[in-house]
Amino acid sequence: MPEYLSTAPVKGTRDFVPAEMSVRTQVFGHLYDVLERYGFLRYDGPVLEPAEIYERKSGQEIADQQLYTLTTKGGERLALRPEMTPSVARMIAGNAKSLSFPVRWYSHPNCFRYERPQRGRVREHWQINADIFGSESANCEIEMFELIHDLMESVGASSDMFAVRVNDRNLLTSALTDVVGVSPEHLPAVFGLVDRWEKTSAEEHATSAEEIGLTDKQFEKLTEALGSGAALLDELPAEVKEQSNLVRVLSSSAASLVKFEPMIVRGLAYYTSTVFEVFDTSPKNRRALFGGGRYADLASLFTKERIPGIGFGMGDVTLIDFLDTHGLTPAPRNEVDVMVIPVTEELADAARQVATSLRRAGLRTSTPIEHRKLGKELTRADKAGAAAVVIVGQEDWEAGNVTVRSLATREQQQVALAEVPSIVGGLVTPA
């Protein structure tokens, strides 16, 4: 017996059969429409980049634990992209002289990270990225939050199904130093502790704080600060708040779109001020769905010109989990709108002519590849979800007619060839 290879995809990757691909196409089509209504332009880039751009800017977790790297025959160290932001920063820097800032760009790349596969995490995923480059205005933050709400609404979500939780790393730094009394050398470790705060227990918080070197009083103040919500802002120096775009957002009409949360940090090293995460509010899936933030100097890897930016990445795995949780996942589209069936094999060419006229009218149309009995083709059309079939018989064809049958009502009528697209179109429900 021959030894067959496994039909399973590589661990951490996924196959998408047509029904699953139909769901994805519908969901992401809604997102593309919203992004383009906001004026975002789509771009793409290579799946391979120099490993160095991630090692220098994406943070220790990605660089040390999750990066897929390879060395070319010429000795170059390359990486499969784990995210798109360093790539788009490179592209923006390389094209800066020809761009009129600010610019809005979006993409939908596949990304690779050596994760431990589990719910919400795989090793290859697709991600909507949306970024605004070239402006430090708080209007960028406001537009991002409005965009997120419209994106979620486009896939059927109501505002009570998710929450946009926001913070500013500069405000958090002030809270840690001015309120909690953390020394500068302990700040990176305390940032890491805050980033893990909601994922670990109170006992683990205390142990980590002790290992960092915080006193009991500092740990108590840290716990109070992280649990105080927006009230924490009242304890911060005025000059710190005056520099914060997020404080401007919270003082605007967009404040209702977000919730200030001191515990939001974001693990990526390039974020410099505003950070945010979108959370599912369902107790069945209470987790971060996606997030982003502002970066002041990411393009500095590639140019001396300072090009600020803000953006987010929305991954497909957590988004589909969210839709499944809330019963919002669309049904796969039917295979075709209409099937054209020749009664005899000799009428195959005639059937193709009719199919051509239907396709030109925008209807998804198929004809049999191999000739089979009419009954079997009608059953096949039903399984394919066709709304109608067009039956091409010898006598009808010679008279310039065909038979159109509705598969919903089983009623049929003889139709002149010129009228077939309009008659069939009336039987097809718009997608």
> If 0-12 CB within 10 Å is exposed, 13-18 middle and 19+ buried, where does residue 427 land?
buried
Half-sphere exposure of 200 (CA within 13 A, CB side): 15
**In-domain check, residue 8:** no
Same domain, 284 and 190: yes
Predicted local distance difference test score (pLDDT) of residue 118? 81
Same domain, 160 and 86: yes
Sequence-distant (6+) residues with CB within 8 A of 176 are: 182, 187, 190, 191, 222, 225
CA distance 75 to 103: 36
Which range among 70-84, 118-132, 139-153, 195-209 has the greatest average pLDDT? 139-153
**In-domain check, residue 332:** no
Same domain, 260 and 347: no
Helix/strand/coil percent split, the chain, to 5: 45, 20, 35
Which pLDDT band, with edges at 50, 70 and 90, does 167 fall under? very high
Predicted local distance difference test score (pLDDT) of residue 59? 61
**In-domain check, residue 6:** no
Parent domain of 403: 338-427
**Res. 106: pLDDT tops 70:** yes
Binding site annotation covers 271? Answer: yes
Which pLDDT band, with edges at 50, 70 and 90, does 298 fall under? confident
Same domain, 216 and 115: yes
**In-domain check, residue 12:** no
Predicted local distance difference test score (pLDDT) of residue 117? 78
**Res. 45: pLDDT tops 80:** yes
Binding site annotation covers 90? Answer: no
Binding site annotation covers 359? Answer: no
> If 0-12 CB within 10 Å is exposed, 13-18 middle and 19+ buried, where does residue 362 land?
exposed
For residue 128, the SS3 value is strand
Binding site annotation covers 4? Answer: no
Same domain, 179 and 145: yes
**Res. 386: pLDDT tops 90:** yes
Structure tokens at 164: 């946009």
Query: At which of 267, 293, 325 does a domain end?
Result: 325
For residue 303, the SS3 value is coil
Same domain, 355 and 279: no
> How much is the pTM?
0.91
β-pair partners for 105: 41, 131
State the CATH number of the domain containing residue 231.
3.30.930.10
Sequence-distant (6+) residues with CB within 8 A of 313 are: 83, 84, 85, 127, 128, 129, 290, 291, 292
What percent of the chain has pLDDT above 90?
A: 84
Binding site annotation covers 84? Answer: yes
CA distance 337 to 388: 7
**Res. 267: pLDDT tops 90:** no
State the CATH number of the domain containing residue 356.
3.40.50.800
Same domain, 298 and 383: no
Which pLDDT band, with edges at 50, 70 and 90, does 57 fall under? low
Sequence-distant (6+) residues with CB within 8 A of 201 are: none
**In-domain check, residue 4:** no
Structure tokens at 350: 């005639």
Predicted local distance difference test score (pLDDT) of residue 60? 63
Query: At which of 325, 348, 373 does a domain end?
Result: 325
Query: At which of 299, 325, 351 does a domain end?
Result: 325
Give me the mean pLDDT over the 291-319 stretch.
Answer: 91
**In-domain check, residue 283:** yes
Structure tokens at 23: 């769901």
Same domain, 184 and 206: yes
What are the start-end ranges of the E strands in 172-270?
A: 259-260
**In-domain check, residue 11:** no
Same domain, 321 and 367: no
Predicted local distance difference test score (pLDDT) of residue 121? 81
| Average pLDDT of every residue of the chain | 93
Predicted local distance difference test score (pLDDT) of residue 2? 79
Binding site annotation covers 131? Answer: yes
Give me the mean pLDDT over the 186-190 stretch.
Answer: 90
- Is-cis flag, bond preceding 2, omega within 30? no
Same domain, 299 and 239: yes
Binding site annotation covers 77? Answer: no
Same domain, 117 and 210: yes
Give the total number of structural domains in the chain.
Answer: 2
